[in-house]
Amino acid sequence: MDVRHLDLLRELADRGSITAVAAATHRTPSAVSQQLKGAERTLGLALVEPVGRGVRLTDAGRVLAAAGRDVAHALARAEARWEEFRGEPVGTVTVAALPSAAAFLLPGVLRELAGLPIELAVTDVDLAESSYPDLVADHDLVVAHTLLRPPGKEAGLVTVELAREPLDIAMAPRHRLAGRTTVRPEDVVEEEWIGVPVGFPFDTVRLAVEEVTGRAVTVRQRIRDNRLVEALVASGDCVAVLPRFTTPSHEGGVALRPLAGIATGRHVYATARPDRAERLVVRRVLDALVRVGGVVGAG
């Protein structure tokens, strides 16, 4: 049994299409298809079957894809032990990170790793909550957020919570609600909102306000970038949901007020494929993320 065939089937299971596997492994779709056919000839079973315009794994293909994950994990454990034997972690760690979480995590992580032979290659990514786990196929670590429960073993991933960050209602300092220490769902449901795209975690707060009050919120704009949301809130009369740790709250900026009666904290977490999480250098970066997240969350 060729380990390369197992790895190919694992990639197909993770990415869902021959085209995606080809792009990720820097091959042509034709080359990937030929390797799949070679695996089928060697093993004597159909490993993929047509569906629509693409293919999907057969039962045999899924069994071998799972075996491919086990092999990758075992090899990663062996490499990690060898790295530990040789000394300190060395290498590059690729990180895909939600910008608003990276803003309070990465400065401290980079300070902690300064002087070590570790390079971080960071990509900032702002996606719908459900899309973040898919990024583990192309990155060693993914820093994401959710208002619910981070994905874990049930998704075949290693997941570590880094911080619990409150989400507050943001408004201009001159806003009629800014004089209060907290605001209630009944207060903010009457306001016009600057929201986020549907499916993004912050939108869960808007849905909760609507559920509690039985009334619909008026959303004037749906915007991803927190800095743009801040600018629009500071210059107008709308309210928005913004994270407490990285939102400037000062004169000329915005006022942040906790929302009473609704749990609005978000979980900021790091997740990875089990084989990549075994690498000593990845574990070193993850440890730094955990420590910095703990300090920020406690402070």
**CATH number of the domain where residue 179 is located:** 3.40.190.10
> In 3D, which of 275, 12, 245 has the Cα closest to residue 157?
275
pTM above 0.85, yes or no: no
Q: Are residues 237 and 288 in the same domain?
A: no
What three-state secondary structure class fits 195? strand
Q: Are residues 247 and 109 in the same domain?
A: no
| E-strand stretches of 21-140 | 48-51, 54-57, 91-97, 118-124
Contact criterion met (CB below 8 Å) for 106 and 288? no
> In 3D, which of 297, 256, 103, 252 has the Cα closest to residue 168?
256
Torsion of Cα atoms, 148 then 184 then 187 then 164, to 10°: -40
pLDDT at 64: 92
pLDDT at 252: 62
CB atoms under 10 Å from CB of 41, counted, come to: 9
The one-digit pLDDT tens for each residue of the chain (299 residues) are: 788 889 899 889 888 899 988 888 888 989 889 989 999 999 899 999 999 888 999 999 999 998 988 888 888 788 778 877 777 788 999 999 999 999 999 999 999 999 999 999 999 999 888 889 889 989 999 999 998 888 777 778 999 999 999 999 999 999 999 999 999 999 999 999 999 999 898 999 999 999 999 999 999 999 999 999 999 999 999 999 999 998 987 656 899 999 999 988 899 999 999 989 989 999 999 999 999 999 998 87
- Per the structure, the count of domains in the chain is 3
Q: Are residues 62 and 94 in the same domain?
A: no
Which domain CATH number covers 47? Answer: 1.10.10.10
Q: Are residues 149 and 279 in the same domain?
A: yes
Contact criterion met (CB below 8 Å) for 226 and 243? yes
> What are 230's two structure tokens?
């801040």
Q: Are residues 113 and 43 in the same domain?
A: no
Phi first, then psi: what are they for 294, rounded to 5°? Answer: -65, -40
Domain of 272 in residue numbering reads as 89-164+266-298
* Domain termination site, one of 81, 106, 121: 81
* Domain termination site, one of 81, 98, 132: 81
Whether the CA torsion 236, 207, 131, 97 is positive or negative: it is: positive
